[in-house]
Structure 1
């Protein structure tokens, strides 16, 4: 059996990044693990510092259960360097190159409205962006 993986983003503002990534990926807030009714109840089982709360993290999932989960955890230290791993957001890649590029541009514009920023464009291929805290994300067409 192959291992599964859940990417985790460290951040300064978990609710801000959660809102961006829900928009980018179409994910939703993941329900707390069974048998817990809330994230607060789930977190209470761990011996966490008194100043930790459920607001210090976000757990997102694909509503269809297909894509990986995404965890977003607030940390005290700032981001100090370029990420060595980034997330690619793939948009449908149907049609000719012009149509695929139009889809990539439309998605990047949607993510700018959600708080992202464009860092670089590789005309016809992909757009390098940053989420609201500077984590790199590329927007490209899905493989045919």
Structure 2
């Protein structure tokens, strides 16, 4: 059996990135683990510094339970280099290369409106983009089945 894994993004503004990644991936806020009713309740069990708050983190999940969970956590240091691991957003659909490229372009435009930026275009194949805090990700067509 394969291991279950989560992805974690370090950031300066967890709520800003949570809003972006919910839009980008179609994810939702993950409920707090039982028996806790709120994230604040859950966080209260940890010995966190006084200036930490529930807004310093966000926990997202795929509403269908298929994709990995995404934790977004505030850290004090800024991003200083290219990500060693990044997310690839795969745009679904069928068709020829031109149709797939058009779907990629349309999705990239939607993500730019949500706060992303385009870093590099590999014509006909994928776009390298960055979220509002500069974390790199790619937009490409889903593999044909």
CA distance in 2, matches of 1:49, 1:121: 43
Partner SS, residue 119 of structure 2: strand
Q: Which structure 1 segments of 5+ residues have no match?
A: none
| TM-score of the superposed pair, with normalisation by structure 1 | 0.98
- Offset of 1:4 from its aligned partner? 1.0
Partner SS, residue 10 of structure 2: strand
Q: Which structure 2 segments of 5+ residues have no match?
A: none
1:41 aligns with 2:37: no
- Offset of 1:93 from its aligned partner? 3.8
User: What is the RMSD of the two structures over their aligned residues, measured on CA atoms?
Assistant: 0.6
| TM-score of the superposed pair, with normalisation by structure 2 | 0.98
The superposition leaves residues 111-130 of structure 1 with CA deviations (integer Å, 9 ceiling, x where unpaired) of 00000000010010000000
CA distance in 1, matches of 2:125, 2:94: 14
Q: Which residue of 1 aligns with 2:74?
A: 74
- Offset of 1:46 from its aligned partner? 0.7
Displacement over 4 Å in runs of 4+: none
- Between Structure 1 and Structure 2, how many residues are aligned? 144
Residue pair 1:93, 1:143 contacting (<8 A) in 2 also: no
Residue pair 1:12, 1:76 contacting (<8 A) in 2 also: yes
Q: How does 1:1-144 map to 2 (within 5 A)?
A: 1-144=1-144
CA distance in 1, matches of 2:64, 2:4: 16
- Offset of 1:36 from its aligned partner? 0.2
CA distance in 2, matches of 1:74, 1:93: 35
